[in-house]
Structure 1
Amino acid sequence: MNVESFNLDHRTVAAPYVRLADTKVLPQGDTIVKYDVRFTQPNVAHLDMKAVHSIEHLFAEHSRNHSARVIDFSPMGCQTGFYLILQGQPEYAEVLELIEATMTDILGATEVPAANEVQCGWGANHSLTAAQDAVKVFLAARADWPTVTA
């Protein structure tokens, strides 16, 4: 299939993990990479939508304090994780450091950025507490992030 994740056997992965999902060379020669940042086990558990929405806002804002490579951080529709899109081809260790630093920032946050009706399409659909709870679990498994399958 055309979509990389549709070719992934979701029964064989062991979340949480961080895996390189795709690399694209654009027509002008620039390279972008997409990482699967999986929080929960597919088809077993999922994140609450308020947590997903708040993690998206928090990561999008705070990650750019750590790297100019960040293009996008988008939630998966299945609510089990996110896609992190970066410019260039950073070393895997650099990507993990970026994610860890940003998740640590999220734990220290006192509000969800742009969680209002002026800056967000559903400003009331946020929970800093739910986001931080999910991030705590994800960070606690930091040593397991490189392991995609059991």
Structure 2
Amino acid sequence: MNVESFNLDHTKVKAPYVRLADIKTGENGDRIHKYDLRICQPNKEHMEMPALHSLEHLMAELSRNHSDKVVDISPMGCQTGFYVAMINHDDYDDVLRLIANTLEDVLTATDVPACNEVQCGWAASHSLEGAQQLARQLLAKRGEWDQVFA
């Protein structure tokens, strides 16, 4: 299939993990590395939307304090994780540090960035506490992030 994640056997992975899912090279030589940041075990659990939504806002904003190579951090429709896209940056260990440092920042956040009707398309659907709980759970299993398969 054309979509990389559709070719991944979701019954064989063991969340949480971070894996390099794809590399795209642009016509000018720029390379986009897309990482699969899986938080929940596929088809067994999922993130609730207010927590996921707030974690998206927090990670999108706070990750850029750690790197200017972040292109995007976007949630998966299945609500089990995020895609982290980096430009011209292929250091897996540094990406793990970026994610960990960003999640540490989430734990100390006092509000969700852009959580208002002017800057957000569904401002009523947020939970700072939920996002922080997801960050705590993910950081607690930091040592497992490089183990993708059960």
1:98 paired with 2:107, answer: no
Q: Letter of the 1:80 partner, please give it.
A: T
Q: Residue deviations 1:19-48, cap 9 Å, x none?
A: 000001011111010000000000000000
Q: Does 1:6 align with 2:6?
A: yes
The percent identity for this pair of structures is 59
Displacement of 1:89: 3.0
CA positional deviation for 1:90:
2.5
Equivalent residues of 2:69, 2:89 under 8 A apart = no
- Partner secondary structure for residue 129 of structure 1: helix
Gaps of 5+ in 1: none
Partner residue in 1 for 2:18:
18
**AA paired with 1:113?**
P
Residue identity in the other structure for 2:11: R
RMSD: 0.5
- Whether 2:19 is the aligned partner of 1:27: answer no
Structure-2 separation of matches of 1:17 and 1:117: 33
Counterpart of 1:36?
Answer: 36
Q: Per-residue CA shift, 1:76-114, capped at 9, x if unaligned? A: 000000000000133111000000000000000000000
1:67 aligned partner: 67
Aligned equivalents of 1:142 and 1:53: distance in 2?
22
Residue 112 of structure 1 corresponds to: 112
Task: Tell me if the contact between 2:64 and 2:70 (Cα under 8 Å) persists in the aligned partners.
Answer: yes
- Tell me what 2:134 maps to: 134
In structure 2, distance between residues paired with 1:121 and 1:41: 28
1:19 corresponds to which letter in structure 2? R
Taking structure 2 as the reference length, the TM-score comes to 0.99
Q: How far is the alpha carbon of 1:115 from its aligned partner?
A: 0.4
Q: Unpaired segments of 5 or more residues in structure 2? A: none
> Which residue pairs with 2:82 in the alignment?
82
SS in 2 for 1:95: helix
Tell me the distance in 2 between the aligned counterparts of 1:99 and 1:78: 20
User: Which deviations, in whole Å up to 9, do the C-alpha atoms of 1:118-138 show, x marking residues without a partner?
Assistant: 100001110000000111000
Q: TM-score, normalised by structure 1?
A: 0.99
User: SS state of the match for residue 143, structure 1?
Assistant: helix
